[in-house]
Amino acid sequence: MTRLRLVLCALAPALLLPPAAAAQINVGVTVSATGPAASLGIPTRNTVALLPTTIAGVKVNWLVLDDATDSTSAVKNARKLVSENKVDVLVGSNTVPNSLAMIDVAAETGTPMISLAAGARIIEPVDAKKRWVFKTPQNDQLMAAAVAGHMARKGVKTAAYIGFADAYGDGWWSEFSRAAEGRGIKVVASERYNRPDTSVTGQVLKILAARPDAVLVGAAGTPAVLPQKTLVERGYQGLVYHTHGVTNPDFLRVGGKDVEGAFLPAGPVVVAGQLPDSHPCKAAGLEFVRRYEAAHGAGTASSFGAHAWDAGLLLQAAIPVALKRAKPGTPEFRAALRDALEGVRDLRGTHGVFNPSPADHLGFDERARVMVQVKGGAWQLVP
Amino acid sequence: MSLDVALWLGQDGLVNGAIYALLALSLVLVFSVTRVIFVAQGEFVALGGLTLAALQAGRTPGTFWLLCAAHGAVALRDGAAALRAGSARGFGRSLLFHLGYPALLAPVLWLAPLRSAPAWVQIPLTLALVVPLGPATWRLAFEPIAGASVLTLLIVSVAVHLALVNLGLLSFGAEGVRTRPLSEARLSLGSVAVPAQAAWVVLFSAGLMAALWFLSRRTLAGKALRAAAMNRVGARLSGIPVALAGRWSFALAALVGAASGVLISPITTLYYDTGFLIGLKGFVGAVIGGLASYPAAAAGALLVGLFEAGASFWASAWKEIIVFGLVVPVLLWRSVAARHVVEED
């Protein structure tokens, strides 16, 4: 009986609404599947393909475009999706510059947007434009605080930083230096390198000369291996920390024994299987990993795909609410969807528990991060 | 700065500089023979490293499919030209070579236990896969417009670079790779323990440079190349097949690129798009040498490597600006001196 009612409920909108285009929801996704952020964009694209094609009985079309990690293309994609495909919501893109550039399109056309990039600047402060913008990855601030906290517990007095010479490296530098100061850790060196650099010997020598207790590598993906490899080569004995930007299987593959013992903050999904059963993110994390690896092979799931999965979960929570207020394809529906996204409560995602509010369009707390150590070529939860 | 740090930086700069020098030489060679500024030179570095890594991981490298596609396209072009000329034999010969070559490599790739094969099997196979892409690039992109202006050739060259980068992404994915070093040993020079691989890089580069010098000075083919570089019309009048010179110079460029990729892949992580920056630094070296003189280009590239090492120590955030800024005073000086170096001596 219950099942019959469920089926009827699911069918109801389809029966009541005319079978026109209005009975479909279009989600426009722009990902950085080529260019420098391709290692984020490719798992995102793969994950979007796994998201449900019906939500609350309404057909959902996921339209995915590639922006080649170029902010001009991201804006072009967003405009095309909004004007030609009449999307009800925008998802993407993977990098902070691309997401920032897309905000204007979202605000101008009154389309809610869920960014998959980490920078807090994308959603803060919530103003007339950014009221349309949400995001799923953790703020760097939350992660930097975790790093500094762990350093303090390990008795670290002096730390050095080496990061990308771009928005990612600079963002982490400002968050980490602030967090370290709060914990009484002295930052004795700050160096930069470029993603495709073939050598960081100079920077590492400078860091070694400052004799820090710990080194934080502010880099994403496999390029983060090089500084630690060079440190190990030069006989550095202190602790090495990474950011959550490295949590993909390729980092472990390329790093091998050179990254053994490194600490990093990460979303709970990275160690979903090792979480205690009481952790709110365990179920969602395991579900994502199971679905992704069923489609792409064992050991392929990365935390970057999980951000897109979380965007999918947010939409699955918000769309049924918005459908009660308006029909898809209308400005009213987009406004209703925005309100519904802001009103999501206690949504257990793969990376954390979403509690957005009018002042905070992410709404994560401490449950959105765990400390992880590289042990035996795998991620190990640090209790 | 202590002596230790200076030694380390010097070692690092020398290793990088050796690779830049190789690329600078091949850029000068290609430019002087074909007037093409070969922007895609760096892509062959990436392709070399990525192909070797794929072989070591037991996968079929995507370069094989690139090679099949490129050779297929060349065979079509040759075939059409031969048929138009009414030469059935030329058609057959072109088909046999361009399609037979990948067909010969295929059983080796699929049947041989390459994953556990020693480096002296894997590395020549890598070169055999990557090097033919060089002449194929020349045949497909540059040969039809060989007489065009330097600017047109440069624009096509940029297009080839973009195409190759994205083909690299398509065939190898976005993630970086690292290959097994030839030996894990370390050589101690005073207080500095140099990884043996770094010494290999310098030795191989020096060897390859010597081989290039020998080729261009002591062999007939090399002399023909130089003749074609100095004066195309004159060379053609004296019976040198100038069209072949383009193919040969691109084959050498691909060989130098792929060999550099194989050499540095154990030291650093290579990505599908790493090559561009390495190639660009080689280009800076070549520009310092005026794009004409081989010894000056090699010296300029070594200077770039040492400068880079120093800049990464003192001002890492400004490293690239400092390295590429090197070009400005050189260009200023050259435009003031305004003496065009035509010969290589």
Helical spans, DSSP H, in B57-111: 62-84, 88-111
pLDDT of residue A51: 95
**Residues A254, B16: C-beta atoms closer than 8 Å:** no
Q: At CB < 8 Å, which residues of chain B contact A?
A: 5, 8-9, 11-12, 15-16, 19, 166, 169, 173-178, 195, 264, 267-269, 271, 273-274, 276-278, 308-314, 316-317, 319-320
Burial of A273 (0-12, 13-18, 19+ CB in 10 A): exposed
Distances (CA, A) of A195 to A135, A222, A251: 25, 9, 14
Residue A22: DSSP 8-state:
G
Spatial separation of the C-alpha atoms in residues B174 and B79, rounded to whole Å: 36
Q: Which range among A326-340, B121-135, B328-342 shows the weakest confidence by mean pLDDT?
A: B328-342
Of B178, B309, B320, the CB nearest to A202: B309
Candidates A301, A212, A288, A207; CA nearest to A252 is: A301
Spatial separation of the C-alpha atoms in residues B296 and B284, rounded to whole Å: 12
Spatial separation of the C-alpha atoms in residues A17 and B170, rounded to whole Å: 43
Alpha-carbon Rg for chain B, nearest whole angstrom, is 21
In this structure, what token pair is assigned to residue B194?
């140099």
**Residues A201, B269: C-beta atoms closer than 8 Å:** no
CA B4, B10, B14 angle in degrees (round to 5)? Answer: 150
**Residues B313, A38: C-beta atoms closer than 8 Å:** no
Of B5, B15, B175, the CB nearest to A250: B175
Please state the rounded mean pLDDT for residues B7-15: 90
What distance in Å separates residue B37's CA from the closest CA in chain A?
22
Chain B CB contacts of A248 under 8 Å are: 175
Which residue out of B316, B318, B321, B322 would a mutagenesis test of the A interface target, given it has the greatest number of A Cβ atoms within 10 Å? B316
What distance in Å separates residue B291's CA from the closest CA in chain A?
24
pTM of the model: 0.82
In this structure, what token pair is assigned to residue A74?
């991201």
What distance in Å separates residue A369's CA from the closest CA in chain B?
25
pLDDT of residue B345: 37
Instruction: Classify the complex by whether its ipTM is higher than 0.85, answering yes or no.
Output: no
Distances (CA, A) of A342 to A135, A317, B309: 11, 11, 50
Distances (CA, A) of A209 to A37, A213, B19: 33, 12, 28
- SS3 (DSSP) at A160: strand
Residue of A nearest to B275 (CA): A196
Per-residue pLDDT of chain A (383 residues; tens, 9 = 90+): 455 454 444 444 444 444 444 579 999 999 999 888 888 899 999 999 999 999 999 999 999 999 988 999 999 999 999 999 999 999 989 988 899 999 999 999 999 999 999 888 899 889 999 999 999 999 989 999 999 999 999 999 999 999 998 888 888 999 999 999 999 999 999 999 988 888 899 999 999 999 999 999 999 888 899 999 999 988 899 999 999 989 888 899 888 899 999 999 999 999 999 999 999 999 999 999 999 999 998 888 889 999 999 999 999 999 999 999 999 999 999 999 999 999 999 999 999 999 999 999 999 999 999 999 999 999 999 98
pLDDT of residue B340: 56
Residue of B nearest to A221 (CA): B175
Centre a 10 Å sphere on the Cβ of residue A376 and count the other Cβ atoms it contains.
8
* 8 A C-beta contact, residue A93 and residue A116: yes
Candidates A81, A58, A55, A77; CA nearest to A68 is: A77
pLDDT of residue B241: 83
- SS3 (DSSP) at A350: coil
* 8 A C-beta contact, residue A107 and residue A95: no
Q: Which range among A254-268, B25-39, B189-203, B271-285 shows the weakest confidence by mean pLDDT?
A: B189-203
Q: Which range among B57-66, B197-206, B334-343 shows the weakest confidence by mean pLDDT?
A: B334-343
Candidates A21, A47, A16; CA nearest to A33 is: A47
Q: At CB < 8 Å, which residues of chain A contact B?
A: 34, 36, 38-39, 41-42, 162, 165, 191-203, 205-206, 209, 221-223, 225-226, 233, 248, 250, 253-254, 256
Which residue out of B175, B265, B270 would a mutagenesis test of the A interface target, given it has the greatest number of A Cβ atoms within 10 Å? B175
**Residues B312, A203: C-beta atoms closer than 8 Å:** yes
- SS3 (DSSP) at A90: strand
- SS3 (DSSP) at A288: helix
Burial of B84 (0-12, 13-18, 19+ CB in 10 A): exposed
What distance in Å separates residue A87's CA from the closest CA in chain B?
29
Could you tell me the pLDDT band of residue B231, with boundaries at 50, 70 and 90? confident
pLDDT of residue B1: 61
First to last CA, chain A: 45
pLDDT of residue A339: 95
Residue of B nearest to A40 (CA): B174
* 8 A C-beta contact, residue A109 and residue A87: no
* 8 A C-beta contact, residue A316 and residue A305: no
What distance in Å separates residue A196's CA from the closest CA in chain B?
5
Spatial separation of the C-alpha atoms in residues B27 and B334, rounded to whole Å: 19
